[in-house]
Amino acid sequence: MSLTETPRSNRLHIGLFGKRNSGKSSLINAITNQEIALVSDVPGTTTDPVYKSMEIQGIGPCLFIDTAGFGELGQMRVEKTKKVIEKTDIALVLFNADYINGNNDNVSYNIEDEARWIDLIIQSKTPVIAVVNKADITNNADIDAVCSMIKGKTGIPPIIVSAKEKTGIEKIREEIIRSLPEDFEMESITGNLVNESDLVLLVMPQDIQAPKGRLILPQVQTTRDLLDKKCVVLCVTTDKLEQALKYLSEPPKLIITDSQVFRAVYDKKPKESKLTSFSVLFANYKGDLKYFVESAYIIEKLTEDSRVLIAEACTHAPLEEDIGRVKIPQMLRKRISEKLNIDMVSGTDFPDDLSPYDLIIHCGGCMFNRKYVLSRVKKARSQGIPMTNYGVTLAYLSNILDKIDL
């Protein structure tokens, strides 16, 4: 990934929801002005969520999520669609105008399904934009009637569009901009830890987990963040840290390290330099740092009968030096007990019932958007389960959590 490319996880996530054949795929194509989604006259063509990354003028980098049409969904697909809500920043709920005059096999039109999903989406604190599609094949009187029905049932005045003729599309773009969540434009990854012209030293061990010829995503994004702030950025591997410090005429304002070498860097850093890690920065950028720090202190209360869930966004194959699957479990068992129960999930596999666990340890979440990470934090909080992240955990296990900069 180049430094100018916006990662999928940082894009505005726009979810499209509606009955089968309501024109969700056609609407994506109309909004983006490109044929990026499969369109078919056969109902139910989209069976699982489809993700499409795009750049839209006036909105910026977006990720459209085209969901399976509801109404006749199997339970598994219903659950997959519900999972999409957890990562959706703005939801477009489509109402198919073609049903109004009985053009679709004389099915009597009602909006009960759409209204139920809107309620579910609103419960997740996600802005909803109601869209009446296929206006090109429906008369104005029928459209007015269904718009009145939608507003009365949901409280949301719908936008009338024809994805086929691309009418009303600009109104959707304008409404998306108006509906942007207040916290979508988060502060920078490094927050107020640095200012323009500050010297920042990045400690980045290139171990087995680093992809050959490339840097891992948090390192790339943090570097870009610092360059945007006009900081002076230097990068070293752990074994060159002391040499790099000797070359400098003054200590770095901030040292950002890989969490796996937290203690080693802390022991060698100048006392004037602030210290944090990529994972700790992402705990704040993507999640709830305060809750993560509070939860880390639960580690001391764990026993051999406790159960810990380690959750990782990536789905890579396990590696010998894997931080989530190997290093953190080893450190926890050394600290607490070899009998400590530890479960591992990856990707979107995150249990709905967290009650069996005494602690959840999540990765930095660089592959997820902030909404999705916070939905997991909310789930943990609501069930009374402490949740922290890799970097905060490693700082605690290295006995420096109270000494680093958050």
Nearest Cα to Cα of residue 68 among 20, 100, 26: 20
Whether the CB-CB separation of 328 and 308 falls below 8 Å is answered with no
Distances in Å between the alpha carbon of 207 and those of 113, 211, 261?
Answer: 51, 9, 11
The backbone torsions φ and ψ at residue 222, rounded to the nearest 5 degrees and listed phi first, read: -65, -40
Within its chain, how far is the Cα of 104 from the centroid?
A: 37
For 320-345, write each residue's pLDDT tens digit: 678 888 999 999 999 999 999 999 99
Residues 6+ apart with CB under 8 A from 247: none
Residue with tokens 């980098």: 61
- CATH numbers and ranges of domains, the chain: 8-178 (3.40.50.300), 199-281 (3.40.50.11420), 289-397 (3.40.50.11410)
Q: How far apart are CA 204 and CA 103, in angstroms?
A: 61
Q: How many helices (H) and strands (E) does the chain have?
A: 13, 14
Whether the CB-CB separation of 285 and 186 falls below 8 Å is answered with yes
Residue with tokens 């840097």: 215
Query: For all residues of the chain together, what is the average pLDDT?
Result: 87
For 236-274, write each residue's pLDDT tens digit: 999 999 999 999 999 999 999 999 999 999 999 999 999
For 10-36, write each residue's pLDDT tens digit: 789 999 999 887 888 889 888 887 775
The CA dihedral of 67, 68, 70, 74, to the nearest 10 degrees, is -130
For 141-170, write each residue's pLDDT tens digit: 778 888 888 999 999 999 999 988 989 999
pTM: 0.79
Residue type at position 181: P
For 392-404, write each residue's pLDDT tens digit: 999 999 999 999 9
pLDDT mean over 158-187: 84
- Secondary structure letter of residue 96 according to DSSP: E
Q: How far apart are CA 48 and CA 219, in angstroms?
A: 32
Residue with tokens 């926890």: 332
Name the least confident of 87-91, 99-103, 155-159, 337-341.
99-103
Instruction: State both tokens at 379.
Output: 């789930």
E-state strands within 122-253: 128-133, 159-160, 199-203, 232-236
Which has the higher per-residue pLDDT, 7 or 329?
A: 329
Confidence of residue 4 (pLDDT cuts 50, 70, 90): very low
Instruction: State both tokens at 266.
Output: 């802390």
Name the least confident of 52-56, 111-115, 189-193.
52-56
Residues 6+ apart with CB under 8 A from 39: 25, 26, 29, 45
E-state strands within 261-391: 274-277, 307-312, 341-346, 359-362, 387-389
Confidence of residue 106 (pLDDT cuts 50, 70, 90): very low
Whether the CB-CB separation of 222 and 254 falls below 8 Å is answered with no
Distances in Å between the alpha carbon of 76 and those of 33, 72, 79, 92?
Answer: 32, 12, 5, 22
